[in-house]
């Protein structure tokens, strides 16, 4: 299942800590990985909402009663995460491209 990235990643402990583990520093590959995970997480949330609106939550709880209704959202989140990990709908790639474009420095063209 896709997990949401931590807003405050913890640095590595002991001698294994590298320069990129220091506060405020992030390598390019770390940033790329973070953006990809964020994009996948966003697609998973989007897919889960689509499944809910399609009636999957009601279908899961149809014959089981109120207790199952409480857990159907967890099942939907898991199904959505699994769909995204299996390739999803390609939205994560588009979200990643948009996030990456926002983080790239812009060139000022003032006269």
Q: Would you kindly state where each structural domain of the chain is located, as residue ranges?
A: 47-104
CA–CA dist 36, 44 (Å, integer) = 12
Alpha carbon separation from 33 to 15, 29, 81, 100 (Å, rounded)? 23, 6, 17, 11
The tens digit of pLDDT for each residue in 3-43 reads 544 443 444 444 444 544 444 577 888 888 999 999 999 99
DSSP 8-state secondary structure symbol assigned to residue 90 = S
Q: pTM higher than 0.75 for the full model?
A: no
Section 43-65 average pLDDT: 85
The tens digit of pLDDT for each residue in 67-93 reads 666 788 888 999 999 999 999 899 999
Given a contact cutoff of 8 angstroms between Cβ atoms, the answer to whether 89 and 39 are in contact is no
């Amino acid at each position: 299942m896709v997990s949401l990235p931590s807003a405050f990643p913890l640095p590595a402990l002991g001698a294994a800590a590298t320069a990129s583990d220091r506060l405020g520093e992030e390598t390019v590959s770390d940033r790329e990985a973070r953006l990809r995970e964020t994009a996948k997480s966003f697609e998973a949330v989007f897919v889960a909402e689509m499944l809910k609106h399609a009636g999957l939550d009601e279908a899961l709880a149809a014959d089981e009663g109120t207790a199952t209704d409480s857990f159907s959202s967890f099942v939907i989140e898991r199904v959505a995460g699994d769909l995204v990990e299996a390739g999803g709908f390609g939205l994560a790639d588009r979200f990643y491209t948009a996030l990456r474009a926002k983080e790239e420095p812009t060139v000022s063209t003032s006269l």
